[in-house]
Structure 1
Amino acid sequence: MLLMGGGRVDEAVAHAARVLRAVADRDWGVPAAGLGWSCLRTAEHVAGCLVAYAGQLTGRAAGGWVPFEAALDEGSGPEDAIRVIESAGGILASVVRTTPRGVRAYHPYPCGSADAAGFAAMGAAELLLHTYDIASALGADAEPPAALTEAVLAHLFPEVSPVASGASPWQVLLWATGRGELPGRARRTAWKWRNAASLDAGPLALRELTPAAAADLAEGGTGGLTWIEGGPFGGTRGAAGSVVKAYVSGVHRPEFGVYALVRTADEVAIGGMGFHGPPDDEGRVEVGYDLAEAARGHGHATAALRALAAWALARPDVTSLLALVEPGNLPSRAVLTRVGFTPLPPREPNLAYGLR
């Protein structure tokens, strides 16, 4: 189970506290590994990030960072810093647990916002990575539990896979953040993590499925969503499985996977829509979608496809969209026509439609 929530934050806090207390008697005035900050200042930064993330969610911040920061009292030492990290982590974990589905708050990477799971993943990443920075400077080991590390990767670094890399999740996370080597890959000198995108489609939102959510859906779970009766439909689970296969193989490209179609009025997921992979060499990308039977006949597929098509065709790497549909699927053909797709030469046994 790779889903991210308050429990993952608690797990990361417990790991950080355990590692840091083992070196609390050492000199925290030395620089943390790879950073210009002292170990004590790095610990203060971690606590500040955790509180800031909680503040973004509780404040429903839309256009920027809530203008406050958390700092250690003057004269604080290592044990004080560890206690503050534990307290700040508890605040974030509680906020993540109580934030309603659908709430998103400002974060710049890459789409301008993140949901509670995203902030939980970022908080866990701050804890794991900066605990490593401090422990490395003080001569201690800081490798976290593999399952926790894999969950962070599946949420924030969907473009890299431990399985495809042939390395442990921890090795991959260190490489992904410029802290380590990975066989066959150049060392990273710059990096940013990624939060799942959300696209507006009027009464719907298209919520990008992370590899973690896709894995849960493919295995018969909910993907962290509340589904309409009869959902998710089989095609959505199958598409989620394709995302997982691409991720495990190391070829998944963020934003060109699957999106859950969610009614914003009640945060109920009604279907799935997305891409069969990234654009080809000619800039063509194939789209697909399905709705649970209870959600059909209300114009939802048309609204969602219009939004997804507009987003895709506004990108410089996309020149056209392709959709394949069975000849007898008249409702789906009607959706494509309403959105502006036009017939192309058939691709037996399916009909083909394109939009440029």
Structure 2
Amino acid sequence: MPRSVTPGPARPPVTADDVALAVRLAVETLSGAPGEAWDERAGSLEWDCWETAEHLANDLLYYAVQLGPQTPPLDTHVPIALRRPRVSGPAVFIEADRAAGPAGLLQVLESCGALLVAMVRTTPPQVRAHHAAGVSDPEGFAALALQETLVHTHDLAQGLGLAWTPPSDLCARTLGRLFPQAPTDTDPWPTLLWATGRAELPGRGRLSGWRSDSTARA
């Protein structure tokens, strides 16, 4: 008789509540930055801190928009026009009003996060939508939002001179959903930084290239 195989533990899902928590913690952390620091370079990125936070807000809104149509496109994104305010800066389709200062920028970030949280909560799990990292489901877009929020807040914290260590369980769920080949015997937060090319792990050098996998798992 064939030997029965006991399935391993189920992967904890990424939820809208995870996204809400990550964005809240990011905004709380970033609100402590001095106003003049927002022109500093964000960690290892080529962007300054203002541009990086604006990019993060755009990411969160982009994910929400992909889930919006009754029948989302699977071969390309919803066609909102992008522009690049600075040649070597990130492409965006919304910008924060610089006259409102860093507090206004964080309101934009918080609002974009709230829109994605609402979309993840209300979109049926069988819906699929385009992403360059793989046609995804609402949980996949939630995981992408965690990746972007946790890692870009790390970039921002480096540039702004802030401390940032997100909850280990958020990092673990992000890794489980987007980086299934990542090591599981290391601390989830440094492992996520390693998986996104920002740090080394014992016995594993810093990655020169990386890619998450948002493909729907079922």
TM-score (norm 2): 0.84
**2:10 is equivalent to residue 10 of structure 1:** no
Match for residue 123 of structure 2 among 81, 94, 99: 99
**2:86 is equivalent to residue 62 of structure 1:** no
Report the Cα distance in structure 1 between the residues aligned to 2:112 and 2:179, rounded to whole angstroms.
24
Q: For residues 63-93 of structure 1, give each alpha carbon's deviation from its aligned partner in whole angstroms, at most 9, with x where no partner exists.
A: 2112222221243421111111111000000
What are the residue-to-residue correspondences of 1:108-147 with 2, within 5 Å?
A: 108-109=132-133, 112-147=134-169
Deviation of the 1:160 alpha carbon = 0.8
Decide whether aligned partners of structure 1 residues 73 and 61 sit closer, same or farther in structure 2, where only a CA change above 3 A counts.
farther
1:47 alignment counterpart:
57
Assess if the C-alpha contact under 8 Å between 1:9 and 1:89 holds in 2.
Answer: yes
1:157 alignment counterpart:
179
Higher helix share: 2
1:275 alignment counterpart:
none
Decide whether aligned partners of structure 1 residues 81 and 74 sit closer, same or farther in structure 2, where only a CA change above 3 A counts.
closer
Assess if the C-alpha contact under 8 Å between 1:51 and 1:70 holds in 2.
Answer: no
C-alpha RMSD over aligned residues: 1.5
Which one scores higher on RCO, CA 8 angstroms, separation ≥ 6?
2
Assess if the C-alpha contact under 8 Å between 2:120 and 2:139 holds in 1.
Answer: yes
Deviation of the 1:24 alpha carbon = 4.4
Q: For residues 137-191 of structure 1, give each alpha carbon's deviation from its aligned partner in whole angstroms, at most 9, with x where no partner exists.
A: 122111100111111111111101332xxx3111100011111110111210110
Report the Cα distance in structure 2 between the residues aligned to 1:92 and 1:70, rounded to whole angstroms.
15
1:189 alignment counterpart:
208
What are the residue-to-residue correspondences of 1:1-356 with 2, within 5 Å?
A: 2-59=12-69, 60-68=72-80, 69-109=93-133, 112-163=134-185, 167-197=186-216, 207=218
AA of the residue aligned to 1:173: L
AA of the residue aligned to 1:189: S
Assess if the C-alpha contact under 8 Å between 1:178 and 1:187 holds in 2.
Answer: yes
AA of the residue aligned to 1:91: L
Decide whether aligned partners of structure 1 residues 53 and 2 sit closer, same or farther in structure 2, where only a CA change above 3 A counts.
same
Report the Cα distance in structure 2 between the residues aligned to 1:45 and 1:153, rounded to whole angstroms.
21
AA of the residue aligned to 2:119: V
AA of the residue aligned to 2:184: P
AA of the residue aligned to 1:5: T
AA of the residue aligned to 2:147: A
The structure whose Rg is larger is 1
Assess if the C-alpha contact under 8 Å between 1:149 and 1:170 holds in 2.
Answer: yes
Q: For residues 31-59 of structure 1, give each alpha carbon's deviation from its aligned partner in whole angstroms, at most 9, with x where no partner exists.
A: 11111111001000000000000000112
Decide whether aligned partners of structure 1 residues 56 and 22 sit closer, same or farther in structure 2, where only a CA change above 3 A counts.
same
Q: For residues 7-46 of structure 1, give each alpha carbon's deviation from its aligned partner in whole angstroms, at most 9, with x where no partner exists.
A: 0110111110111012144410111111111100100000
Assess if the C-alpha contact under 8 Å between 2:125 and 2:139 holds in 1.
Answer: no
Report the Cα distance in structure 2 between the residues aligned to 1:18 and 1:151, rounded to whole angstroms.
22
TM-score (norm 1): 0.53
Specify the SS of the correspondent of 2:115. helix
> Identity across aligned pairs (percent)?
40
Report the Cα distance in structure 1 between the residues aligned to 2:97 and 2:160, rounded to whole angstroms.
23
Assess if the C-alpha contact under 8 Å between 1:40 and 1:77 holds in 2.
Answer: no
Decide whether aligned partners of structure 1 residues 83 and 10 sit closer, same or farther in structure 2, where only a CA change above 3 A counts.
same
Assess if the C-alpha contact under 8 Å between 2:34 and 2:160 holds in 1.
Answer: no
Decide whether aligned partners of structure 1 residues 119 and 91 sit closer, same or farther in structure 2, where only a CA change above 3 A counts.
same
Q: For residues 114-153 of structure 1, give each alpha carbon's deviation from its aligned partner in whole angstroms, at most 9, with x where no partner exists.
A: 0000000001111111111011112211110011111111
Higher strand share: 1
Specify the SS of the correspondent of 1:22. coil
Decide whether aligned partners of structure 1 residues 19 and 74 sit closer, same or farther in structure 2, where only a CA change above 3 A counts.
closer
Report the Cα distance in structure 2 between the residues aligned to 1:25 and 1:142, rounded to whole angstroms.
18
Assess if the C-alpha contact under 8 Å between 1:26 and 1:138 holds in 2.
Answer: no
Specify the SS of the correspondent of 2:39. coil
AA of the residue aligned to 1:80: G
Instruction: Name which of structure 1's ranges 63-72 and 136-145 shifts more when overlaid on structure 2.
Output: 63-72
Decide whether aligned partners of structure 1 residues 71 and 149 sit closer, same or farther in structure 2, where only a CA change above 3 A counts.
same
AA of the residue aligned to 2:188: P
